[in-house]
Structure 1
Amino acid sequence: MSIGTFPDLLIRDLHVDDRPRERLIKQGPQSLSNQELIAILLRTGTKRESVLSLANRVLIYFEKLHELKHATLEEIMSIKGIGQAKAVQLLAAIELGRRLSQKQVESRFTIRSPKDAASFLMPEMASLQQEHFVALYLNVKNQVIHKQTIFIGSLNSSIVHPREIFKEAVKRSAASIICAHNHPSGNAAPSPEDIEVTKRLQEAGFIIGIELIDHIIIGDHQYYSLKEQGYI
């Protein structure tokens, strides 16, 4: 029986082997649906609604699981049946998942190509709802030794100061850098401003002796490498 087909079922109405917690223990978390995983986090429903039904409404409210990544405490609590305690449990699980995912990516990741850089950045940057300008600092083996968000907001050549980016590169003894920013629109094509910023950073890096390897633009599961396209 598919639990997702009967969201109003109470946990006690299910056969013991069909209950989310028991299935997780016996079959592993990968065997559970998104609804069942959320139900485990919520733990209980309300007097009038099962935890499975409540979990289903959470998914409906956010339309897709990915949008939970940006949920605020207030948004989650606006769902009928979810108080502060349940909302906090969900937010804690979401944040833990985000940190674990990023930590796996960040452990001395080696960048050998624009695709590698995009793979490193995309899990975090593709879903951002504001533009973030980020710098990756690499050692002589092209391993990422540090990542730093330089600023948040629309890209403007007057805002992106080479001194801020290269000051950190000198501090970290970086051999080279890769810059990146996202386009919340999803279209990764560069604007004239993007190209101008890239040229300014390349010139500054040449003077300082720290090479700008690439400038990556992250869109909706796509990327644009200014190096690949001949701008660097």
Structure 2
Amino acid sequence: MYDIQEVDYPMRPRERLRTLGEKYLSDQELLAILLRTGTARSSVLELSGQILRHFETLENFRRASIEELMQISGIGESKAVEIRAMIELGKRIQTTERKRYGQVKGAQQFAKTLIDEMSDFDQEHLVAVYLDGKNKIIKKRTIFVGTVNSASANPCEILHFAVKTLAAGILIAHNHPSGDPKPSEADVVFTERMENACDYIGINLIDHIIVGHQRYFSFQESGLMF
């Protein structure tokens, strides 16, 4: 359950932010600033508290649809749309900050970007990241949407773009909508096929990363790649 502490501050949220900085504001105060106004029955701080209690966690709030937001008294379509826009913009800012280096420096570093991008997907997405000799990103491509299996996950399609972009290495990644990044038998078989195919044409398979809910599994880190 989301913990909301009712505290009477001497200053309103906007004044506190200007005076103290945004880091000193509670989630409730930050949301109140974005909402701007309350309702005839509730102040904007009370309304923001109701929203946070309704969704229980910030993760649930982040995933809430426009329709789910509108179920709360005081949140009409306009406010719901503004909230969704705010959440998406924050997500893009965070992702852009991590992408700006344009280089894969390790599974843990790159997995954070993948978690931001893929953890909300309702279906499995298989992504191939094409790298140069210094592991700088040349191109990232979604290969398909569906379940990773021998029929749909064909190394030929992935390697076609590797040759086309003159990539020296490939990193592949997909998400598990269940939230558990543990590899399935199909994931292991697919990774072995990719390793063999990459070895055959002289391209380095850097890693296969599976994204779950705020977690990831790296075949390279787990010693399942050679």
Query: Aligning the two structures, in what range does the TM-score lie when normalised by the shorter sequence?
Result: 0.7 to 0.9
1:160 match: secondary structure? coil
Pick from 68, 85, 101: which aligns with 2:78? 85
Q: Could you say what the CA RMSD is over the residues aligned between the two structures, in angstroms?
A: 2.2
1:206 match: secondary structure? helix
Query: 1:191-206 alignment to 2 at 5 Å?
Result: 191-206=184-199
Query: 1:168-207 alignment to 2 at 5 Å?
Result: 168-207=161-200
What count of residue pairs does the alignment treat as equivalent? 222
Number of the residue aligned with 2:111? 118
How much does 1:102 deviate? Answer: 0.7
Pick from 134, 137, 145: which aligns with 1:144? 137
CA contact (8 A) 1:106 1:144 kept: no
Number of the residue aligned with 2:209? 216
Paired with 2:104 and 2:219, the residues of 1 have a C-alpha distance of 16
TM value normalised by structure 1: 0.85
Q: What amino acid maps onto 2:5 in structure 1?
A: T
Paired with 1:219 and 1:46, the residues of 2 have a C-alpha distance of 38
Paired with 2:62 and 2:136, the residues of 1 have a C-alpha distance of 28
Pick closer, same or farther for the CA change 1:83–1:157 going to 2, 3 Å.
same
Paired with 1:20 and 1:152, the residues of 2 have a C-alpha distance of 43
Structure 2: gaps (5+ residues)? none
CA contact (8 A) 2:181 2:212 kept: yes
Q: Mean alpha-carbon deviation: is it higher for 96-105 or for 110-119?
A: 110-119
TM value normalised by structure 2: 0.87
Q: What amino acid maps onto 1:93 in structure 2?
A: M
Paired with 2:22 and 2:142, the residues of 1 have a C-alpha distance of 34
CA contact (8 A) 1:108 1:145 kept: no
Paired with 1:66 and 1:54, the residues of 2 have a C-alpha distance of 18
Structure 1: gaps (5+ residues)? none
Query: 1:93-104 alignment to 2 at 5 Å?
Result: 93-104=86-97
Number of the residue aligned with 1:20? 13
Q: What amino acid maps onto 1:68 in structure 2?
A: F
Deviations 1:14-33 (A, max 9, x none): 63xx2100111111111111
Paired with 1:67 and 1:143, the residues of 2 have a C-alpha distance of 34
How much does 1:145 deviate? Answer: 2.9
Deviations 1:91-119 (A, max 9, x none): 11111101111111111343243333323
CA contact (8 A) 1:218 1:224 kept: yes
How much does 1:72 deviate? Answer: 1.7
Number of the residue aligned with 1:157? 150
Number of the residue aligned with 1:230? 224
How much does 1:219 deviate? Answer: 2.8
**Residue 12 (structure 2) pairs with residue 6 (structure 1):** no
How much does 1:129 deviate? Answer: 4.2
Q: What amino acid maps onto 2:23 in structure 1?
A: Q
Number of the residue aligned with 2:64? 71
CA contact (8 A) 2:91 2:116 kept: no
